[in-house]
Structure 1
């Protein structure tokens, strides 16, 4: 028979291999390797390109430091983030109840759904000029543009969530004496929440796309304005700073929203 010491000697290498595998799995989940790989490819491509055509990561970092010295970068970020957050929130506030109402009423759905499927294919940027005429060149036009970008994504996802509910569930609830309001509260809304969550998450991307276009055309501040203004001086590094900042802002907002979904909507099987 093997002694305890011999068994420990044999177990240690196996335990070490297992711990290394677990460690590497944790690293892979963080996505660090993906970011490092992207930076490596970017650096190599920039080395063989004109700096005015493709600045390196280091040049982009220097551009960010330059813009940060007078605080302008953070001011632009604050303006863009406030606009996106306001428009996205208001868009959700209107779209979710409307999607639930349209999905729950066949007559209304038959009347409204064709119109929704027509208008939703018109991109938000096509309305920039009209929104400036209707709401002025101030904050209202930009916020309404983001609301428009958010509205249809969330409405359609909410509508899809309502329509995915089995008719048997609704009939069962009504057979037990549930009113239409109780069916909406205890059957329809809980079943539609994962779809609503996904719609709101997708709408974030649409909101960032809309705000960049709006700020390029009608703004004196914001990341979109910064990118558009940088082209006048051929500051390609500033353009890349804007692109990276937009990506980071969207990524952090997405992660925060996903965390909130897991934290507060866990019972509804939110997958993010």
Structure 2
């Protein structure tokens, strides 16, 4: 009986939150419509929703600057996903090892903490000098942007594990390998997934910087190119596409987290 009431209250809460989310976006669209309808600001600064929609349809049909929208999306997502995957493959083990072994942390941590606060454009110039203006420098820039949040979160997750779990496992005969794979890794997975979501978001925000130099395709490049010619409708289309695609990527990561980290919140 109590469980049923809790489930019903949870459903009501989720329904209310969804209504609030929908209402918020409807209010934003209404404000946008009113601002442009009564010419409260210049159309160059804030184009009308109808103009933005027509530009989107035109880009969808004819592409932008001779390149289809799907090529722009594919190019950007290729850079984003390759960089994010490389960051996950390297940052997770390094972060866990740094949290678990102080000597590893002494080697790796200072390097990450040195470059982490640097603006991406500050070292992008160096990457171009080293790797050229091709895909390598762009993917590396996104990789570095995604690496730091995952690494820092993994170190934090390991250091915050309840030591009683580790001591209890060792007292029952568990070796270092068993402790790591059966205690440390499962306890860190919730924070690892959260850091991956953050890292992908950071890499996506860095995408525009990566596509500023010597690029001829990509959603970020499309926005930058449109800004040079004050094509505000194209800028809005690019920003909206990046925002929606970012939400979809985050939603997919949250679904994966719910599937693989089903014990989250019960440690």
Fold similarity call, TM over 0.5: yes
Deviation at 1:111, TM superposition (A): 4.3
What's the secondary structure of 1:267's corresponding residue? coil
Provide the residue aligned with 1:266 in structure 2: 262
The TM-score, its normalising length taken from structure 2, stands at 0.87
Deviation at 1:24, TM superposition (A): 9.7
Q: Which runs of 5+ in 1 are unaligned?
A: 1-21
Match status 1:40 vs 2:30? yes
Q: How many residues align?
A: 250
Q: Determine if contact 1:153/1:203 at 8 Å carries over to the other structure.
A: yes
Q: Determine if contact 2:190/2:257 at 8 Å carries over to the other structure.
A: no
In the alignment, which of 185, 191, 199 is matched to residue 189 of structure 1? 185
Provide the residue aligned with 2:49 in structure 1: 57
The TM-score, its normalising length taken from structure 1, stands at 0.86
Q: Cα deviations across residues 12-60 of structure 1 (Å, max 9, x unaligned)?
A: xxxxxxxxxx889626416221211111112222331111121022111
Of the two, which has the highest radius of gyration? 1
What's the secondary structure of 2:174's corresponding residue? coil
Deviation at 1:83, TM superposition (A): 1.1
Match status 1:138 vs 2:155? no
Q: Which runs of 5+ in 2 are unaligned?
A: 1-10
Q: Cα deviations across residues 113-134 of structure 1 (Å, max 9, x unaligned)?
A: 3332222111222222111222
Q: Determine if contact 2:146/2:200 at 8 Å carries over to the other structure.
A: yes
Q: Determine if contact 1:64/1:73 at 8 Å carries over to the other structure.
A: no
Provide the residue aligned with 2:147 in structure 1: 151
Root-mean-square deviation over aligned CA pairs: 2.0
Deviation at 1:207, TM superposition (A): 0.7
Quick one: distance in 1 between partners of 2:200 and 2:88?
A: 10
Aligned counterparts, 1:97-176, within 5 A: 97-176=93-172
